[in-house]
Amino acid sequence: MYSFSPKLRLYSIILIVVGVVLFGIGYALNHGLDDTAISHWMESVHSKGHEAPSHSSELVGPQDHNAHLEHAKHQIHNQPLAAIHTFAVFAFGISCCALFFYSIQHAAHAGWSIIVTRVMEAIASFIPYGGALLVILTLLNITGYGHLFHWMDPNLTDPNSPEFDVILFEKKRFLNIPFYVIRTLIYVIGASFFVWKLKSVSKKVDENKGNRKIYASLYSWSVGYIAFFGFASAAWAWDWLMSIDPHWYSTLYIWYSMVSCLSTSIAVMIIICVYLKKKGVYPQFNNNHLHDLGKFLFATSMLWSYLWFCQFMLYWYANVPEEVNYFFGRFEYYKPTFLPMLVINFLAPLLVLVSSSIKRNYKVVTLMACVVIFGHAVDYFNMVMPGTVGPYWSNASNALLVLGSFVFVIGFFTFIVMTALSKLKLMPTGNPFFHESEIYEYPF
């Protein structure tokens, strides 16, 4: 049984407080900007020769100075909500992917991973809390406090409005506020139900050793979650990420965004397992289990790289103006984060983790797990910020907001996950594959 370390608990609370303070300072700086300062920022961007639109909304409606200023004001004042939205979606995705990976183990009757399943359950325990945060953000968006989702403006689907957007008019059967809220609630409530159900059935399996009927129930519910996750993860990628720029779409985007979270989720598992091993409460976890987790970290990093390249290459080759606009804004305004993340998310895992023996090295694999988490946080930053904040991201207020949100979510995530872990029996001794996991040895 793991006991939540008072020191780690204190550190997580400190991170939450520091994150809130940094976010508060950034919020104050952001809302202290007047029209004159915003106008100077806008003119500074254009004076550098940057003319590429960072969002499809810039191509619709009036194109005079006042219209551009109004759009710049929306983008700059989007900074607080965009910052917290980025990491809220990211953390929710990580916890859902942990439950997905957990369900795959049970559906496949995998033996090696049973020792690690309690860690997966603990990570998945963040789902209701991350979901609650996303519901709050949804309410802020639909009530007009935020403007992250351009399509929520009713003028854009009104044929009599000068800002009428025919593309959004055609998409409004899916992109409308009531249906968006319903879908968000389905994702959050559905995933929260599955994590509760799977944890409760897993506990029953442990309490009723050798009961095949209960174990079969765990298998069935795992398959059910895999099916739910397959549809829900695709739909929430459309809703929470891709609809930020509703003119643009990619059929690869749902897999790309999901694999980013899956790779990060495995990295989080590695860090927690190594931490528990170091604390002396996880002696059954050995370098064979570490090797397999490192193998999945390597595999998902390569899969993410493949999807990123496929998505980019197809758009670059076709060179359709409505499609390449998505990349123009990122190349022009997000050079320090867009392409350099390939070094972190692709080259580093490729060069370091390709060796089988390296995957048994606790220090190296843990370091790579930290690198991957940071790299995919940057990836989600690149997904959200260009379409919400545009070129107005490299300033003190946004830096504080992003850093504050990131630190807050890390602290909050750590507190919830480790609290959940302290309430779980670390070793699922009632699972019929537990002994296989104990004696598991990677043959190569």
Is the backbone of residue 2 left (phi > 0), alpha (psi -120 to 50) or beta? Answer: beta
pLDDT range class, residue 190, cuts 50, 70, 90: very high
66 pLDDT tier (thresholds 50, 70, 90): low
Query: Which whole number is the average pLDDT over 134-141?
Result: 94
Asked whether the predicted pLDDT for residue 7 surpasses 60, the reply is yes
Compute CA distances 61 → 244, 318, 389, whole Å.
18, 27, 19
Q: Is the pLDDT of residue 179 over 90?
A: yes
Q: Which pLDDT band, with edges at 50, 70 and 90, does 74 fall under?
A: confident
pLDDT value, residue 200: 95
Mean pLDDT to the nearest integer, 11-22: 97
Q: ∠ CA(154), CA(156), CA(159), 5° rounding?
A: 100
> When comparing pLDDT for 212 and 268, which is higher?
268
For residues 58 and 250, the answer to whether their CB atoms sit within 8 Å is no
User: Average of pLDDT values for 106-125?
Assistant: 94
More confident residue, 33 or 52: 33
Instruction: Judge whether residue 299 has pLDDT over 60.
Output: yes
pLDDT cut 90: percent of the chain above it: 62
Which of residues 162 and 13 earns the better pLDDT score? 13
Is the confidence at residue 258, as pLDDT, over 60? Answer: yes
Q: Are 122 and 417 in contact (CB under 8 A)?
A: yes
**265-282 per-position pLDDT tens digit:** 999 999 999 999 999 888
Residue 347: how many CB atoms within 10 A of its CB? Answer: 12
**AA identity, residue 46:** H
Counting beta carbons within 10 angstroms of the beta carbon of residue 57, is it exposed (0 to 12), middle (13 to 18) or buried (19 or more)?
buried
For residue 316, which of 306, 307, 329, 327 has the smallest C-alpha distance?
327
- Comparing 29-43, 271-285, 289-303, 409-423, the range with the smallest average pLDDT is 29-43
Three-state SS at 93: helix
Q: How confident is the model at residue 75 (pLDDT cuts 50, 70, 90)?
A: confident
Statement: residue 255 has pLDDT above 60: yes
The alpha carbon torsion through 16, 147, 39, 46 (nearest 10 deg) reads 100
Give the mean model confidence (pLDDT) for residues 33-42.
74
If you average pLDDT over residues 37-62, what whole number do you get?
62
Q: Quick one: tokens of 109?
A: 């009757």
Pick the range with the lowest mean pLDDT from 7-11, 393-397, 405-409: 393-397
Render pLDDT for 351-378 as a digit per residue (tens, 0 to 9): 999 998 999 999 999 999 999 999 999 9
Q: What is the mean pLDDT of the chain?
A: 90
Q: Confidence band (pLDDT; 50, 70, 90) for 50? A: low
Q: Is the pLDDT of residue 53 over 70?
A: no
- pLDDT above 60 for 62: no
Taking the C-alpha atoms of residue 207 and residue 210, their distance in angstroms, rounded to an integer, is 9
Q: Which of the two residues, 48 and 6, has the higher pLDDT score?
A: 6
Q: Which two tokens stand for residue 73?
A: 């004001």
Q: Is 2:426 a contact under the CB 8 Å cutoff?
A: yes
Question: Mean pLDDT over residues 183-204, rounded?
Answer: 96
Please tell me the distance from the alpha carbon of residue 118 to that of residue 111, in angstroms, as a whole number. Answer: 14
Task: Select the more confidently predicted residue: 37 or 358.
Answer: 358
pLDDT band at residue 72 under the 50/70/90 scheme: confident
- Which of 257, 250, 254, 246 is CA-nearest to residue 173? 246
Q: What average pLDDT does the segment 56-70 reach? A: 59
59 pLDDT higher than 60: no
